[in-house]
Structure 1
Amino acid sequence: MRVLRGLFDALLGIVMAVLGTVLGILATVVWLVGAVLCVTVILIPLGIPVIRLGRRLFTLARQLMHLP
């Protein structure tokens, strides 16, 4: 039973790390889109919330990749 629990924990850790990595890449893309929106002065009101969303996604990605 301990062996199965250990294998399950290892598999879960790998899956969470992969999900965290994918979410980190998505957060990077969202943050870059927000930065481009902020560069165009007219679209700053749209860019700032998008950058905040990217920051939240980075935080979630970091939490997913954290080892217990």
Structure 2
Amino acid sequence: MPVELKVELNGTGRRTLLHRHTGERDWSEIAEAGLMANPDPSDFYRRTAGYIADIAAKGVKIFYTDVIR
């Protein structure tokens, strides 16, 4: 089943990776080290890339959105 991933930035500059299955309304945080409220952009994106690679290797189709511009 396809998964949607989205980066959220809170008011203090911390990034969180959220996910939901296609067709669901609600987003959930990914409870893995460095993917929730991470203040370090380099570390966050390195961990996000690793997470995406792990689930893609399992054949999961991914739709990724980064709201940070």
Higher percent of residues as strand = 2
Q: TM-score range by the shorter chain?
A: 0.3 to 0.5
Q: Tell me the TM-score normalized by structure 2.
A: 0.34
Q: Tell me the TM-score normalized by structure 1.
A: 0.34
Question: Which structure would you say has the larger Rg?
Answer: 1
Higher percent of residues as helix = 1
